[in-house]
Chains A and B, each alone.
Chain A
Amino acid sequence: MNQGTLPTQDWDDDDEMDNHFELSLYIAGASSNSIRAVANLREICEKYLGDRYTLRVIDVHQEKSLAEKEQLVALPLLIKSRPYPERRLIGDMSDTQKVLKGLGISGE
């Protein structure tokens, strides 16, 4: 689960940078919230972003110093660092509409 990344694909589009999502999902071990969050997020990303994203899943228990550095309080936390602006989403990502809103994708 740690450092779980999906292969990215080179894009020739001009707006490659704008369309590529860099996501970091901070979770706390194998709690039910964490597992749900990973599953829900993967599903949303597959469905709405296709290949246009990089997702890192980080178990904070493995790297505790990150908690202070990244201002973690509530977990699971998803940080969308790209495209700008940075957004933070907390919760198990079960509310798809809110996740999409947070990511700035209009859910059709």
Chain B
Amino acid sequence: MVTLPRFNRNNHHRLSELTMSLEPSESTKMPTTLPKSSTGIRGLDEITAGGLPSGRPTLICGAAGSGKTLFSMEFLVHGAVHFNEPGVFVAFEEKAEELAVNVASLGFDLHQLQRDGKIRIDHVHVERSEIEETGEYNLDGLFIRLAYAIDSIGAKRVVLDTIESLFSGLTNQAVLRAELRRLFEWLKEKGVTTIITGEKGEASLTRQGLEEYVSDCVILLDHRVENKISTRILRIVKYRGSVHGTNEYPFLIDEEGISVLPVTSLQLNHPVSSERLSSGIPALDKMLGGEGFFKASSILVSGTAGTGKTSIAGSFIDKACIDGQRAIYFAFEESPHQIIRNMRSINIDLQAHIDDGLLMFSASRPTLNGLEMHLLNIVKLVEKFRPSVVVLDPISNLITVGSNSEVKSLLTRLIDFLQSQQITVVFTALALNDNKTEQTDEGVSSLVDVWILVRDIESNGERNRGLYVMKSRGMRHSNQVREFVITDEGLKLVEVFLGPEGVLTGSARETQQLVEKTTEAIRDHAVSRKDREIERKRLVLESKISSLKEEFESLQEELNKSYIEDELKKNIMENNRQELTRKRDDLL
């Protein structure tokens, strides 16, 4: 993440410099580096490796409206509020009251700061028409004034905005130049960190060549307009005794003041994750090794118009939100309401996620800002909202505000930034030419980790959507072209139907499906007829078995009957015999 290093050690540095002789151990351990004063301006301390040179003057130059005064004021207020370094603002152009009003929108309460003795504003008014020059003079008045202001609040920071105004108020250039040189030396001796602002000149950095006197640090602010789109640029022209970024850094001025976000792509050493993230379309996950995308990967969905790129992005973001992840949808073509309404038609309720605070929409026309501004906005929002998933829909439109190489550079840096933050990003891109669908206009296909292509397959007088995974780094993925249908219930990938002429889509597929259904019905019918016959045969056999059983039983009974009779006969005869024997005995 782009963190703000809070270099609050400046006082300590300065102290250690003074007490070096007392603590030789410290000075021998590490060579004294240039002590720096943190500006508190987002990102600037990163570029300057800590801030402006402490106790030395820094020149901020730029054209009118480039943000010099705001820059200086932020430096002063942050110093007073966060670093306990009171500051003096010497305004040559604006009155204290005007200044207070101008920076009130940033939440700076200059009145309160002045009452607390943290900031002192001195408006120096020099009007040539009121002044007659009658001989030799110097700027002792300004020196005394400044010394008084600095000493009265123990200021550590001073801003002179814009000291060049003196040149229009006083005519003796030789005196002025000599006095300015003396002033900067004097400020250095005082040990105050000073910002001197200067208006941009024709051939030199400043109109009066102030850069000759301020040799420690020079920062150039620029406000560039290209293709009617403005971009603010900051560049460190020189910084004596310190390493610093040398690029042109775009910066933003908004309600939070100045933010410089150096989004560069110097390194390729992000941590990687093997965690997987569902695409929201089960069949697509299956095509991607069964589990979906890698976390923090970049996914490009490209395709011709109306192929459902936004719907794929939508279902991805829907799934992420359902899983409780935060997401930002950067829309460059449609308004959030339009997207929400359209997604509702495929049973995706994005509004619910917005209500839950999981989803954030940021819609802007590409032409609203320059490319760098778009990048800054994205980075700022991402840092504020901390999403796990980001969608940019579509990146194609960015080409209207920048050249191909610029867009590619932007996307490279964006991907780098998002990967370093472990954020998964989905880009959608419009492929303009149907014949060349394998090439995106932005040339980003080589940058992304996963490239999903959605294209029209035209055959049998109809258009159908085919989806395939062109590439997917680090996973086994399907090589199949799958038919992709948008239904009321969401996006679906239809099972592959292979016909004699290859993959069948649309009505051809449905025909094939019907044919197969018929065959199945007929087969089912045949099977059931056979079943019935078997059942009948079984019944016949079973009835035969039962009749035989009955026959056997009657036979058995017959046999039993004669047997019992015999037994009875035998018993009776025995009885009779015994009876006769007993009778005979009685007679005897």
Contacts and interface: CB of A to CB of B under 8 A. Distances in A.
A68 B133 contact: no
A28 B140 contact: yes
B234 to A, nearest CB: 31
Interface in B153-196: 166, 169-170
15 contacts: A28-B138, A28-B140, A31-B138, A33-B136, A40-B135, A64-B147, A65-B148, A68-B149, A72-B141, A73-B145, A89-B131, A90-B137, A95-B135, A98-B132, A99-B134
Interface in B101-147: 122, 124-126, 130-145, 147
A74 B130 CA distance: 13
Nearest to A27: B140
B137 A75 contact: yes
A61 interface: yes
Interface residues of B, number: 26
A31 B137 contact: no
A23 interface: no
A83 interface: no
A67 B131 contact: no
B68 to A, nearest CB: 21
B134 A73 contact: no
A48 B138 CA distance: 27
Given A33-B138, A73-B124, A91 B144 contact: no
Nearest to B130: A88
For B131, B132, B142, which residue has the most chain A Cβ atoms within 10 angstroms? B132
A67 B136 contact: no
B141 A91 contact: no
A5 to B, nearest CB: 21
Contact of B144 (A40, A64, A78): A64
Interface string A70-103: 0111111110000000011111111100110110
A92 B145 contact: no
Given A75-B141, A92-B137, 15 more contacts: A37-B135, A60-B141, A65-B148, A68-B148, A72-B141, A73-B139, A73-B142, A74-B142, A89-B131, A90-B134, A90-B137, A90-B170, A91-B133, A98-B132, A98-B135
A21 interface: no
A76 B149 CA distance: 20
For A78, A90, A101, A102, which residue has the most chain B Cβ atoms within 10 angstroms? A90
A53 interface: no
Contacts, number: 108
Contact of B124 (A61, A71, A77, A93): A71
A interface bracket (residues with beta carbon within 8 Å of B) = 20 to 34
Interface string B403-428: 00000000000000000000000000
Contact of B141 (A67, A78, A92, A99): A67
A102 B134 contact: yes
Contact of A31 (B125, B131, B140): B140
A78 B137 CA distance: 12
A26 B147 CA distance: 17
Contacts of A89: 131-134
Given A68-B148, A68-B149, A71-B124, A77 B134 contact: no
A72 B137 contact: no
Interface string A15-54: 0000000000010100101001100100000000000000
Contacts of A67: 141-142, 144-145, 148
For A26, A31, A77, A89, which residue has the most chain B Cβ atoms within 10 angstroms? A89
A49 B169 CA distance: 29
A104 to B, nearest CB: 10
A89 B166 CA distance: 16
B137 A33 contact: yes
A67 B561 CA distance: 151
A88 B131 contact: yes
For A33, A91, A102, which residue has the most chain B Cβ atoms within 10 angstroms? A91
Contacts of A78: 134
A93 B135 contact: yes
Given A73-B126, A74-B170, A90 B132 contact: yes
Given A28-B140, A73-B139, A64 B134 contact: no
4 A-B pairs with least C-beta separation: A72-B141, A91-B135, A28-B140, A102-B132
Contacts of B133: 89-91, 95, 98
B155 to A, nearest CB: 14
A71 B131 CA distance: 12
Contacts of A98: 132-135
Contacts of A73: 124, 126, 139, 141-142, 145, 166, 169-170
Contacts of B135: 36-37, 40, 91-95, 98
Nearest to A34: B140
Nearest to B142: A73
Contacts of B125: 71
Contacts of B169: 73
A91 B137 contact: yes
B174 to A, nearest CB: 13
Contacts of B138: 28, 31, 33, 74-75
